[in-house]
Amino acid sequence: MSQLTGKTALVTGASRGIGRAIALSLARAGAQVLVHYGNAEEAADAVVAEIRAAGGKAQKVAANLRDADGPHQLAKRVRAIVGDRLDILVANAGVSKSAPIEATSVEDFNQLFAVNVRAPYFLVQQLLPTMCKGSSIVLLSSLAVRTAVGAISAYAASKGAVDTLVKHFAAALGPRGIRVNAVAPGVVATDMSSFTKTEAGRETALGMQAFKRIAQPDDIAEAVAFLASDAARWVTGDTLRIDGGSRL
Ligand SMILES: NC(=O)c1ccc[n+]([C@@H]2O[C@H](COP(=O)([O-])OP(=O)(O)OC[C@H]3O[C@@H](n4cnc5c(N)ncnc54)[C@H](OP(=O)(O)O)[C@@H]3O)[C@@H](O)[C@H]2O)c1
């Protein structure tokens, strides 16, 4: 397990799913974790309580990342808690929409890009003053960038933009000693991939993978904790596939 004692971390979308597992994993490694949520306040409270019960430090922080000024509001709240030092930013909050090209509306498209691309972009911008040599930023990409799975073209494009940002952010922030990477999960058992709860959906997911089981959020979280830690000090500008060998 990576050691993050004394580090401060913000995990967006930490009320549920992959973000929840990342928050718990970073806390287990010793970080103080800000558990961001949008609507699911009770779920965020439960994550904070679980971290505190295990002897860790955590606090919830709210913001709607669909709003244009959501990232700015969140950054302000984060700075009010951690002051001028944030070591780890995991921009995990995301939305997906499964729809054929013909059925994708402008509103769907705008929402996907607002939450999945604009929010991480401006969160990084707004939190940069708190980041310094050794800080690590991790964004959430997807298997859908590399291969055409499902009817999720607009979602996949938003995650493609994330991969592009990783490279440009890493190049721009490397001289300051700030690393920027992404993880690209395959299908993970969360609310977002509810299709895995049907037999047909499960078969499809298993059929893509070398490992014949559906990933759990913890399978992703440990890799994020690695990227956030000094063990990954020479890794930047990369998207790490964590997909159980999907579509090899
Ligand atoms: N599940 C998969 O198979 C999979 C695969 C590849 C990549 N990913 C990526 O992994 C990340 C996490 O996905 P997940 O499966 O854990 O999703 P999830 O279970 O649906 O959880 C999404 C999280 O994002 C937050 N969120 C969504 N919209 C928001 C908004 N407008 N403002 C603030 N917070 C918002 C939610 O907060 P509240 O509930 O508090 O509102 C929740 O905590 C996403 O970026 C997703 O694209 C997932």
Q: Which residues contact 236 (CB under 8 A, 6 or more apart)?
A: 170, 174, 179, 180, 181
Parallel, antiparallel, or unpaired: how do β-strands 239-242 and 32-37 relate? unpaired
Q: CATH number for the domain including 61?
A: 3.40.50.720
Does residue 2 belong to any structural domain of this protein? no
pLDDT the model gives residue 197: 86
Does residue 204 belong to any structural domain of this protein? no
Q: Could you identify the residue written with the tokens 């952010």? A: 169
> What is the atom index within ligand 1 of the atom nearest the CA of 220?
10
Where are any strands of DSSP class E within the chain? 8-11, 32-37, 58-62, 88-91, 136-140, 179-185, 239-242
Domain that holds residue 103: 8-187+217-240
Candidate of 11, 12, 16, 42 to mutate for ligand 1, largest count of ligand atoms within 8 Å of Cβ: 16
Burial of 151 (0-12, 13-18, 19+ CB in 10 A): middle
What's the domain count of the chain?
Answer: 1
pLDDT the model gives residue 194: 86
Q: Under DSSP, is residue 62 helix (H, G, I), strand (E, B) or coil? A: strand
Contact 217, 188 (CB under 8 A): yes
Does residue 49 belong to any structural domain of this protein? yes
Does residue 35 belong to any structural domain of this protein? yes
pTM: 0.98
Q: Kindly give the residue spans of alpha helices, DSSP state H, lying in 152-238.
A: 153-173, 199-208, 217-228
For the chain (248 residues), the mean pLDDT of every run of 10, in chain order, is: 87 98 98 98 98 98 98 98 96 97 97 98 98 97 94 97 98 98 97 89 92 95 97 98 95
Does residue 202 belong to any structural domain of this protein? no
> CA-to-CA distance for 12 and 15, rounded, in angstroms?
8
Parallel, antiparallel, or unpaired: how do β-strands 179-185 and 239-242 relate? parallel
Catalytic residue among 37, 122, 155, 169: 155
